[in-house]
A = this chain, B = another copy of it.
Amino acid sequence: MKQSQLFTKTRREAPKDEVAKNAQLLIRAGYIHKEMAGAYSYLPLGLRVLKNIEKIIREEMNAIGGQEIFMTTLQDPALWKKTDRWAEENDNAQTGLPWFKTALTGGGELGIANTHEEVITNILTKYVSSHRDLPIYAYQFQNKFRNELRAKSGIMRCREFLMKDLYSFNADEASFREFYEKCAEAYLNIFARAGIGEKTYRTFASGGAFSKFSDEFQTVCEAGEDTIYIHLEKRVAVNKEVYTPDVLNSLKLEAGELKEARAIEVGNIFPLATRYAKALRLTFKDESGKTHTPHMGSYGIGLGRLMGAIVEVLSDEKGIVWPREVAPFYVHIISISGGNADVEKEARRLYELLGEHNVDTLYDDRDVRAGEKFADADLIGIPTRLVVSEKTMQAGGVEVTLRGNGHTTLVPESEVVERLVRG
């Protein structure tokens, strides 16, 4: 894409009421627009990142047998009353999923969905009757709405946010547990591909009413809201909320080997046992005709949360640093022409050449000074920068700089495409 055609521009300042680093940088670079506390619109660059994150998650969920669906936001209270999750006193306080509610013209109350356990379980009562119908792993990417008293942390804790939620249904606990571990592996793949694998730990956390533990995926970062205790060698951690001698003992972890850190919860997976299936009468018959209740799990990743965490963890004093798989573009071409038409021509030729090889490229064709182009490129954070100038043309090449470590090399013109396509 030509940068002159991108409708956003970089800004010197973020809005005064925006305190989170992730949102400050993303707003300044033109990725997002703040509509109100806890609700951000995604502009062209921001949506490209969000879609890349979605693609990674979709691939990993499909690889473990996930089937993608898209459930509704509007919710009938009758369904949620069956599981005792409609009344505010049950909900806000206990589950951290405070409802937005609304009134239907003509009478009646509706909910704006904050999660979908009830919805998928109810749908499956139409399709599950035999053990042969299981297992089922259904997931979606869908906006969730939570009526938080305070929205903070930029795009990491919103009142409205895009979430991947997968729900698993297995015939018994053993097969549930097997899938649960497979999904935990898939989550580690996702965070590795998103560039924060090294800083992300599978973390023992509270299991609620259904299980001793749930598992969180926590990314070490000062901006995080959680405190965890990490075992660096075993690459596991324990959330402060369950950090007791008894728990450490049961996990065979020594307090002295653990290191305290602040962290961002970028994902969680949760055993739900038979709570929702029982309440909503989802059953199946085994080979002998006996009736059973499926074992269920839920598996969430907030896409904006993950995007914000990447920004928090990897940015530097100049701006954002995107890992390759989530970056809005892989290559940023900057022409420093100083009015020399040959330089612009060469930059445009390179842009078209990379396009022919399907290399996602942003081409800064704007008529602004070199310093502004470099500062904007640093802020926007595309992984690979190509500089074309009189100097590089005289040297018969292109200057290639990696945003991550600043490493610069002059690559001969004949090798540029091969270098970038190969990666």
Contacts and interface: CB of A to CB of B under 8 A. Distances in A.
A17 to B, nearest CB: 13
A181 interface: no
Contact of A7 (B9, B106, B138, B162): B138
Given A143-B143, A147-B104, A44 B72 contact: no
A39 B119 CA distance: 12
A126 interface: yes
Contacts of A67: 6-7, 44
A35 B119 contact: yes
A105 interface: yes
Interface residues of A, number: 60
Interface in A11-44: 11, 30, 33, 35-36, 38-44
Contacts of A40: 72
A150 B105 CA distance: 9
Interface in A85-122: 92, 98, 100-106, 110, 112, 119
With most chain B CB atoms within 10 A of its CB, the pick from A41, A112, A136 is: A41
Interface in A145-160: 145, 147-150, 159-160
A9 B132 CA distance: 12
B74 A35 contact: yes
Contacts of A105: 92, 98, 147-149
A73 interface: yes
Contact of A123 (B33, B69, B127): B33
A100 B105 CA distance: 8
Interface of A: 5-9, 11, 30, 33, 35-36, 38-44, 46-47, 50, 65, 67-76, 92, 98, 100-106, 110, 112, 119, 123-124, 126-128, 133, 136, 138, 143, 145, 147-150, 159-160, 162
